[in-house]
Structure 1
Amino acid sequence: MRKSIVLLHLVTLIVLLNSTRLKAQNKPLTVGDEVPDLTFKNIFNSSNAEIKLSDLRGKLVILDFWGVFCIPCIEEFPKLDSLQKMFSSEIQIIPVNPLDRDSIGRFFKNHPKVYLPSLPFITGDTILQKVFPHRGNPYIVWIGKDGKMLLDDVPVTQPNIEAVLSNKTMKVPEAVKNNYVESLFDKRWSNDMLYSSYIYRGKDLGVKLGASEIGQSLSDGGTIIFLYQRAWEGLTNGKYGFFRPGRTVIQTKDSTKYFEPKNLNDYDEQVWLRDNIYWYQSSVPNDKPYNLYELMKEDLNRAFHLNAGIEKRPVRCHVLVRTSNTDKIKTRGHKPIDSFFHADRIGKDYGPTRSLINQPFTKFSKRLTGLIEYGIKQPFIDQTGYTGNIDIQFKADVLDRIVLANLRNALKVYDLDLVEKDVDLTVLSLKEN
């Protein structure tokens, strides 16, 4: 009987030790901490059945947390593959995803246009998410040759890898550690509050802009121009579409704080975002008759020394027109078909021919609006005046690779064209004081 009791105590002790060790392995790590010797099975895209971190000692290990709905993550795959081949045995890049192995396999099978890098994928992850907690993807963790966490969310680039391998100092903006709170406003004074607002600068928020507990709230973040557009879209109930290309103009001597310069390197882009992204929040008790968007407009004017207003002015647009009186698009009344879409960036394909058969012309006009304003980044206006149902077919390349000349050639078959001319539009006008 005594032996049984001793054995039971020993088993209990072993279970407790294993549980303690597992919890220790799963605790959040910071830069400088040693990464536990974890083993991962169900590896996708590799001949190895498992990955054991201790087997990678002596290499620079880069964990790339990604998601199947994260377009920036997927667009990085070709670059990651190229960097792995460039540095060969000196580094190991490992994409990490919480979906199981079969789901990742189906994702790449169903999206053949997504580039599959020659990298081993950790799938079904539940451990690394806890060891390296983060919000959103992509998220990057660098583990040094000694097995310690080296860098937190630093972009994977050739200069950065070379700097780490040669023990050189890297130009990396200091990471912001988030503090998730309801608001910067102290709740102790909430009963006496009439109205509160704040504007916080920084690419990484650091403060949770959630719904206010004391009444109405309005929160958002972005560039100065984006915040003005947000306020005026609210004031006008979205009537003018100020977020669309050409609908916002600004008179300024220096545009660098309003528009991100083109062709910045990774470091300078992060610096620009850090210095020129702002977060806004206002809160108002329910019994106070304030318009949150009016308050936002006034707060922005005070903070950024701008005057905002609505005015009519000529804007250069791509205008859809008919080139003859011959109606070449009127429907023949066949069974309705709607496949007039461009293939998305993760490879969904709608076939070699994209059609609108027995569909309203307004649908065609709206699709062109998206193609031109979000593909070419130019304002679009439909001046055809056409009504009724139509039949139109374009080759897939015309929609999947937006080139203005190809689009015009496809339209000319139906006696339609895109011409550039000035059109009077209602715009949001920003002027510096």
Structure 2
Amino acid sequence: MNKLRIYTAIVTGVILFLLIAFQANGQIKALKVGDRLPAAMEHRLLNYKSAKVNLDELQDKVVILDFFDTFCSNCIEAMPKLQKLQNELGDKLQIIVVTWQDSATITKFFRTNQYLKEKNIKLPIIVSDTTLKKLFIHQGLPHVAWLFKNRVAAITFSEFSKAEHVERLYQDGKIQLPLKNDFENNEPEAPVVGDSAHSDRGGSVLTGYRDGATEHGFLIYRDTMGYGTYGTLKNMPILAAYVSMWTKVKKPKFLLNKERIVWEVADSNKYNYLSDKLSYREWLLDYGICYERKIMRNVDDLEFAKSALEDMNQLLGLAVYWDERINDCLELKKLPANKINRKTVMQKTGGGDTMMIEGTDVLTFAVDMTKKYPPCIDLAKTDIKMEIGEFKTMEELNLQLAKYGLVISKGRRAIEVLVIKEK
């Protein structure tokens, strides 16, 4: 009898161990769209009718899990939109924001954040999360998971949290939203489709937006055996794709602002995000591109990028090139010695924080970064070190530049521009 009891205890222990191990493995396995949620998982939360919630209890509603933390400004900025959506569709929808931070941190943040107080944000918050972040793994915030009937309906971006999508999922039981995948391997795993694999030119592929692909600019790789060179870019606007390629051929020392882009096309919105009706991600679904190219020999980045630019022009029916055009601008010049008023210079300087700038080319770039003025052209071309304070007008900046023998004035001259022309 004692042996039987011992045997039974051992078997029971093994079974319990296997069950616990199975459950633990299930909890840390990342979920994909279509997967069922693990059963009986409770989560601590704030701003809810109870101190804990089991997502099983919400299976008859669309559940949106919006991952955030207090350091994510985009997450905080989006919360009023989420609150409005919750207020409008409360009978069909439950939005829960999820954070790894503890209850005390989150309580204090919501109590002291004036923006959230003014917007009257009362969304339920899962705190001290260690489970959901493993089920829905991510690197960037915000990160959003959609659930319905205890299954994962979508893993997507925050801008798709809209009433029309909630209604569709609630009525149809399924929905297709762009996949957010923070862990995609960007390097090509195999040669792209194109010419013969034995061709010296290799091949190329141009497609539209690719679901689940991580957005990135033009990257170049080489086969470790020396048999080929690969290039790839994914989910980029066409203009950004060209700029990314051109930086490997010609690296401009100025900011490519709107005055330096010449559009010779029927509709520039196809090439660059300009919409005031759609979010960037929604626009990208229609106009984003993916491009891959392979050359069956090792070439340097310059040669590869030039061949990719020619290929893109042919595939898209475009001519994209650098040119010079007459344009309004600001000119940074050396100030004549007789124009420097030493007394005024010593009395008036920039207010607030200051920054050290080394060289007039860096200064012109900094002026362009304000996006308040026409392109700034460096005609002084010196390596002088300058300490520049805050300025609200060009007059205020010129008062600071005078002690370095420099001045910025309005001008009109030929400047470098990027031309995008439909053939």
TM, length-normalised to structure 1:
0.69
* Aligned with residue 353 of structure 2, among 352, 355, 361: 355
SS in structure 2 opposite 1:14? helix
1:219 aligns with 2:215: no
One-letter amino acid of the structure 1 residue matched with residue 248 of structure 2: G
Identity, in percent, stands at 20
Q: Tell me, in whole angstroms, the C-alpha distance in 2 between the residues paired with 1:219 and 1:264.
A: 30
Q: Is 1:280 aligned to residue 312 of structure 2?
A: no
Counterpart code for 1:379: P
2:268 counterpart SS class: coil
For residues 29-428 of structure 1, the aligned pairs below 5 Å read 29-31=32-34, 33=36, 36-41=39-44, 43=45, 49-66=51-68, 72-87=74-89, 91-97=93-99, 99-101=100-102, 105=106, 115=116, 117-133=121-137, 136-144=140-148, 146-153=149-156, 155-161=160-166, 167=171, 175=178, 182-185=188-191, 192=198, 194-204=200-210, 211-214=221-224, 215=226, 216-221=229-234, 222-236=236-250, 238-241=251-254, 243-265=256-278, 272-284=283-295, 287-288=298-299, 291-317=303-329, 325-326=340-341, 330=345, 354-356=352-354, 362=360, 366-372=365-371, 376=372, 379-381=375-377, 393-394=389-390, 407=393, 411=397, 422-428=412-418
**One-letter amino acid of the structure 1 residue matched with residue 25 of structure 2:** K
CA 1:282 to 1:422, structure 2 compared with 1: closer, same or farther past 3 Å? same
The Cα of 1:218 is off from its aligned counterpart by 3.2
Please give the TM-score of this superposition, normalised by the length of structure 2.
0.71
Give the match for residue 401 of structure 1.
none
- Rounded Cα–Cα distance in structure 2 between residues aligned with 1:191 and 1:380: 48
Task: Give the AA of the match of 1:194.
Answer: D
Q: Secondary structure at the match of 1:246?
A: helix
Please, which runs of 5 or more residues in structure 2 have no aligned partner? Answer: none
Equivalent residues, number: 392
CA deviations over 1:390-426 (Å, ceiling 9, x no partner) = 66654xxx7xxxxxxx545755876999876534211
Question: Deviation digits for residues 26-68 of structure 1, max 9, x if unmatched?
Answer: 5424347456332124x47779654332344554321013466
Question: How much has 1:365 moved relative to structure 2?
Answer: 5.1
Tell me which amino acid in the other structure corresponds to 2:79.
F
Amino acid of the residue matched to residue 204 of structure 1?
Answer: R
Higher relative contact order structure (alpha carbons within 8 Å, sequence separation ≥ 6) = 1
- Residues in 2 aligned to 1:175 and 1:409: alpha-carbon distance in whole angstroms: 48
Secondary structure at 2:248's aligned position in 1?
helix
Counterpart contact for 1:60–1:91, Cα < 8 Å: yes
What RMSD, in angstroms, separates the aligned Cα atoms of the two structures? 4.8
Deviation by residue 1:332-380 (Cα, 9 ceiling, x = unmatched): 8x9xxxxx9xxxxxxxxxxxx62228876857655433222xxx59634
User: Gaps (5+ residues) in structure 1?
Assistant: 335-339, 341-352, 399-405
SS across alignment from 1:76: helix
Preserved contact between residue 317 and residue 379 of structure 1 (Cα < 8 Å): yes
Q: What letter corresponds to residue 204 of structure 2 in structure 1?
A: Y
Distance 2:9 2:36 in 1: 36
- Is the 2:69–2:101 Cα contact (8 Å) retained in structure 1? no
